[in-house]
Amino acid sequence: MARLVGGMTTDDVRAFLADLRFPVLKNDVVHAARKNGAPNGVVSMLENVPVTEFRSLDHLLESLQQLT
């Protein structure tokens, strides 16, 4: 479990995105996070990921870890 920006962990982010089906576009990830009550810091991190499409949740989490 890795720590991300703002002290969140990959497990924290995983909980906000549990209902996603992959592959998925970044806009859909951001929308799902907002809908599931993710804090603004998590939403901001997701918006700042340079990847525009994710193959899997692991791919998404790896992309977030590269921001830290």
Q: 2-50: per-residue pLDDT in tens?
A: 777 667 788 889 999 989 999 999 999 999 999 999 999 899 999 999 9
What is the per-residue pLDDT for 36?
95
Task: Give a yes or no: residue 7 inside a domain.
Answer: no
Strand partners, 9: 3
Strand partners, 3: 9
Average pLDDT over residues 60-65: 91
Task: Give a yes or no: residue 13 inside a domain.
Answer: no
User: Containing domain of residue 33, as a range?
Assistant: 22-68
**Could you count the other beta carbons within 10 Å of the beta carbon of residue 12?**
16
Q: Number of structural domains, the chain?
A: 1
What is the per-residue pLDDT for 6?
67
In 3D space, the residue among 19, 9, 45, 15 whose CA is nearest the CA of residue 30 turns out to be 45
pLDDT of 66 > 70? The answer is yes
Task: Give a yes or no: residue 5 inside a domain.
Answer: no
Task: Give a yes or no: residue 6 inside a domain.
Answer: no
What is the per-residue pLDDT for 12?
87
What is the per-residue pLDDT for 68?
64
Is 7:45 a contact under the CB 8 Å cutoff? no
